[in-house]
Amino acid sequence: MLEGIDTPALLLDVEKLGRNCERMRSRVHAEGVVLRPHVKTAKSVEVAQCALGSPAGPITVSTLREAEYFFDHGFRDILYAVGMVPAKVGRLAALTKRGARVSAIVDSTEAAQGLVGASNKEGVRVPTLVEIDSDGHRGGIAPTDGELFEVAKILGDSLAGVMTHAGDSYNCTSVEAIRAVAERERKAVVTSVMALRSRGHPSPVVSVGSTPTATFAESFAGVTEVRTGVYMFHDLVMAGLGVCAIDDIAISVLASVIGHQHDKGWIITDAGWMALSRDRGTQKQAVDQGYGLVCDVAGRPIGDFIVVEANQEHGIVARRGGGPVGFDRFPIGSLLRILPNHACAMAAQHAEYHVLRQGRAAETWERFGGW
Amino acid sequence: MLEGIDTPALLLDVEKLGRNCERMRSRVHAEGVVLRPHVKTAKSVEVAQCALGSPAGPITVSTLREAEYFFDHGFRDILYAVGMVPAKVGRLAALTKRGARVSAIVDSTEAAQGLVGASNKEGVRVPTLVEIDSDGHRGGIAPTDGELFEVAKILGDSLAGVMTHAGDSYNCTSVEAIRAVAERERKAVVTSVMALRSRGHPSPVVSVGSTPTATFAESFAGVTEVRTGVYMFHDLVMAGLGVCAIDDIAISVLASVIGHQHDKGWIITDAGWMALSRDRGTQKQAVDQGYGLVCDVAGRPIGDFIVVEANQEHGIVARRGGGPVGFDRFPIGSLLRILPNHACAMAAQHAEYHVLRQGRAAETWERFGGW
């Protein structure tokens, strides 16, 4: 079935992808909220179309290359959700002049001044969201910080609203904790935007997003859009958080068994960190999945086998915590599938998806990279 | 000087590259040994030519794609140094029929039988080295294991010699320890090959290699070739081992400052793990460099600033162990350079090298990926 594919290779189960996308889209749309999927996870037109359930629609990007690539494939409503710097305004303005609506984000007066200055020079108006810090995870202005109003003043008519990313949700250890983070995420942006509106700034957009909070938030009151990406594929980190089941994970790396170390209980494969990525996102979770959970060629986990170590083009597979292997089941040249700790990181190591339909290799989908 | 380069971007200091290459080539050639550089680190024709000091020569590869790409660029003597499986023999045979000399490795009777069967079917003879396990790091047959002779018998005329990789040298904590690993590496292959020769197997090739052992080995007696790759670029792991100085590191990622978190002492940049890789190779060393050591735009380390956290397209820079930042030195849009924990992993995240000559951006060199 998969014997014609050269290993290592990235597989995408299109039925699982479809179910994951449909579930999130239904949930968000049922709340009357826009779903603006983050295309950084998949970097694939076909996957983004599956997420939207249509040939195009609003998307979130993390690089200007993503913005350019998706615009060239018919996507016009694009949020570049990484802090803007003046040197990047030229490429953004070029897209705007070609008919795109590319929004930017800033989280300081300095960045706002830089953006306004550079976009005036380019002769474009860049709709801009102010990034709010809802959880101390990375960037953003605290919801009650006076700098928010100074930034709004600098942006003037370009101010389009507020956004935040509850990245801390990845470190939760229970669904209750994720719900609390989601509510804090919502409150942070709603508090900020209400303050802006009360001072005469229209600020129509109120944007939140992370796969865990989008999945478990109990309220989207006041929120106008949700940005999320990992849910399309899901991964072992999400399964560890209770956000998905292992069986929901839509991507895996196909690997060949290339050696055995009988004394050590090791199966050597040709899927090292180049194919799997170096992501160890489950290391801090209750179940550490090493560099990935090992499945048979049909995608079913084989007991408790994980990738315990990864070199560039070698993976070492063993039982979690040691134990007998039964090497006869894994002859040289036989195929395994490895589930990812982190879907974004595993997918980033590959230039194409081998699409599986009902378990059989169908077409390939392009995946691009770079900046 | 570097202002015209869109960030994040991979920089290559061509003078440092040249010095690193010249140093290793002189050392190995002075011992009368063949240098067969490992092209997996750079995946660049120009870098391989620099390593060899000539337009082509013997190389080591870790993927069939590397073999094909380098053959298409004039390299004919290629060792594929990852355990061979029957399904890969077709692509290898195609190269052989086009005039390449591609050697393979095996480390079991099962793999040897698979290779001989598949190459007979293809009508080619594949020169094959037996992989010896010199340090329990990954694959290979123990030097004194009787399976060695069974493998030799199966390979027959295809047996070309033995090889090993002292991967454990990366875990050393002193130069003395590396010297000991190097001597164990040498002894493992020399013991094996002498045993093979005494039983009538010519076995001319005796191949060793890792950047630490190649740098510090006190003897290459009995060794015919050295395979090594990281030394071309060097990295923080090598510096931590004492194999190079920080100033020898030839690659870095150029990043833009995109934000400040004053309360936390964080500088946010646009170089996350997508640009830096997730490699945390210095985590176990005496000095943990986080996701990379931070330099100014000229490549000089800025005190003790490191990348303390990395998201996909965001890096968080802070003082090691905290402390005041002096944000005025790092305005929004200013440029930094990040040195890699692991050169192979950082380079793998990029499709081109921005080549610096005397600190100024010159041409770009292509870097390929995939399998």
The tens digit of pLDDT for each residue in B283-314 reads 999 999 999 999 999 999 998 999 999 999 99
Residues of chain A with CATH 3.20.20.10: 15-233
Q: Mean pLDDT throughout A212-240? A: 98
Kindly list the distances between the CA atom of residue B114 and the CA atoms of A164, A333, B87, in Å, as whole numbers in the listed order.
Answer: 55, 9, 9
* pLDDT category of residue A335 using cuts at 50, 70 and 90: very high
Residues B31-84 pLDDT 10s: 999 999 999 999 999 999 999 999 999 999 999 999 999 999 999 999 999 999
Give the tens place of pLDDT for each residue, B71-125. 999 999 999 999 999 999 999 999 999 999 999 999 999 999 999 999 999 999 9
pLDDT in tens, A154-208: 999 999 999 999 998 999 999 999 999 999 999 999 999 999 999 999 999 999 9
Using a CB-CB cut-off of 8 Å, the residues of chain B touching A345 are 273, 278, 312
Average pLDDT, chain A: 97
Structure confidence at residue A36 as a pLDDT band (50, 70, 90): very high
Closest CA of chain A from B64, distance in Å: 10
CATH superfamily of B15-232: Alanine racemase (3.20.20.10)
The answer to whether B227 faces chain A, any CB pair under 8 Å, is: no
**Residue A237 C-alpha, separation from nearest chain B C-alpha, in angstroms:** 15
Asked if A164 has any chain B CB less than 8 Å from its own CB, the reply is no
Q: Does residue A329 sit at the B interface (CB-CB below 8 Å)?
A: no
For the segment A75-97, the average pLDDT, to the nearest whole number, is: 98
Q: For the residues B202-206, what does the mean pLDDT come to?
A: 97
pLDDT number for residue B289? 98
Percent above pLDDT 90 for chain B: 97
Cβ of residue B9 closer than 8 Å to a chain A Cβ: yes
What is the average per-residue pLDDT within B323-347?
96
CA distance B98 to chain A (A): 20
Q: Which of B259, B312, B369 sits opposite A139 (nearest CB)?
A: B259
End-to-end CA separation in angstroms for chain A: 35
Which residues of chain A neighbour B273 with C-beta distances below 8 Å?
279, 345
Sign of the CA dihedral running A64, A67, A70, A73: negative
In degrees rounded to 5, what are phi and psi of residue B106?
-140, 160
Query: Which of B9, B86, B108 is nearest residue A259 as measured by Cβ atoms?
Result: B108
Q: B73 phi and psi, to 5 degrees?
A: -110, 20
| Confidence class for position A323, pLDDT limits 50, 70, 90 | confident
- What is the ipTM for the molecules in this complex? 0.96
Closest CB from A260, A277, A333 relative to B278: A277
Edge-to-edge strand order for the sheet containing B101-106? Answer: B34-35, B225-226, B205-208, B159-163, B128-131, B101-106, B77-80, B59-61
Pairwise CB contact (< 8 Å): A270 & B85 = yes
The 10 Å Cβ neighbour count of residue A119 is 22
pLDDT of residue B363: 96
Residue B224 has pLDDT above 90, yes or no: yes
Closest Cα in chain B, distance from residue A351 (Å): 7
Q: Quote the pLDDT of residue A54.
A: 98
Q: Is pLDDT at A1 greater than 80 in this prediction?
A: no
Provide the token pair at A251: 């991507």
Q: Where, residue-wise, is CATH 2.40.37.20 in chain B?
A: 244-366
Chain B hits for A83, CB-CB cut-off 8 Å, are: 258-259, 268, 270, 332
Is A84 within 8 Å of B260 when comparing Cβ atoms? no
- Annotation: CATH topology of A15-233: TIM Barrel (3.20.20)
Q: Inform me whether the pLDDT recorded for A354 exceeds 90.
A: yes
Give the one of A91, A259, A311 whose C-beta lies nearest to B83's C-beta: A259
Could you give the residue range(s) of every CATH 3.20.20.10 domain in chain B? 15-232
User: pLDDT-based confidence at A3, cuts 50/70/90?
Assistant: confident
Which residue in B54, B19, B57, B55 sits closest to B37, CA to CA? B57
**Res B3: pLDDT:** 85
- Cβ atoms within 10 Å of B44's Cβ, excluding its own: 24
Beta strands in chain B (DSSP E): 9-13, 34-35, 59-61, 77-80, 101-106, 128-131, 159-163, 205-208, 225-226, 251-261, 266-269, 293-295, 301-310, 315-319, 335-339, 352-357, 360-366
Percent of chain A with pLDDT over 90: 97
Taking CB atoms and an 8 Å limit, are A331 and B110 in contact across chains?
Answer: yes
Rounded mean pLDDT of A107-124?
Answer: 98
Q: pLDDT band for position A311 (50/70/90)? A: very high
Contact A351 B332 (CB under 8 A): no
Residue owning tokens 């629609």: A57
CB B162 within 8 A of CB B206: yes
CATH of span A244-366: 2.40.37.20
pTM of the model: 0.97
Interchain proximity A348–B274, CB inside 8 Å:
yes
CB A300 within 8 A of CB A359: no
Work out the number of other CB atoms within 10 angstroms of the CB of residue B53: 14
Interface test with A, best of B332, B334, B344 (most A CBs within 10 A): B332
For residue B331, the chain A residues in CB contact (below 8 A) are 110
Does residue A243 surpass a pLDDT of 80? yes
3-state secondary structure of A317: strand
Chain B residues in contact with A260 by the CB 8 A cut-off are 108, 110
Q: What's the pLDDT at A321?
A: 87
A265 touches B: beta carbon within 8 Å: no
Asked if B63 and A313 come within 8 Å (Cβ–Cβ), the reply is yes
* Shortest distance, CA B227 to any CA of chain A (angstroms): 15
Q: Nearest CA to CA, how far is A366 from chain B (Å)? A: 13
First vs last C-alpha separation in chain B: 35
In sign, the C-alpha dihedral spanning B53, B54, B55, B56 is negative
**For residue A350, what are the CA distances in angstroms to A317, B43, B109?**
21, 15, 32
Say if B362 is an interface residue toward chain A (CB within 8 Å). no
For testing the chain B interface, which of A129, A263, A278, A280 should be mutated: the one with the most B CBs within 10 Å?
A278
Q: Please give the angle made by the CA atoms of A362, A270 and A343, to the nearest 5 degrees.
A: 60
**Chain B residue whose CA is closest to A342:** B312
Q: How far apart are alpha carbons B206 and B203 in whole angstroms?
A: 8
Could you tell me if A138 lies within 8 Å of chain B, comparing CB atoms? yes
Q: Token pair of A172, please? A: 């939760």
- Test the A interface: residue of B2, B129, B312, B327 with most A CBs within 10 Å: B312
- In this predicted structure, what is the pLDDT of residue A355? 98
When pLDDT is cut at 50, 70 and 90, the band that residue B1 belongs to is: confident
CB pairs under 8 A between A and B: 153
- Contact assignment for B139 to A345 by CB distance below 8 Å: no
The answer to whether B6 contacts A91, with C-beta atoms less than 8 Å apart, is yes
Q: Residue B276 has which token pair?
A: 């830096």
Tell me which of B170, B278, B279, B334 to substitute to probe the interface with A (most A C-beta atoms closer than 10 Å). B278
Average pLDDT, integer, range A270-293: 97
pLDDT band at A131 (very low <50, low <70, confident <90, very high): very high
Q: How far apart are CA A35 and CA A31, in angstroms?
A: 10
The answer to whether A371 contacts B316, with C-beta atoms less than 8 Å apart, is no
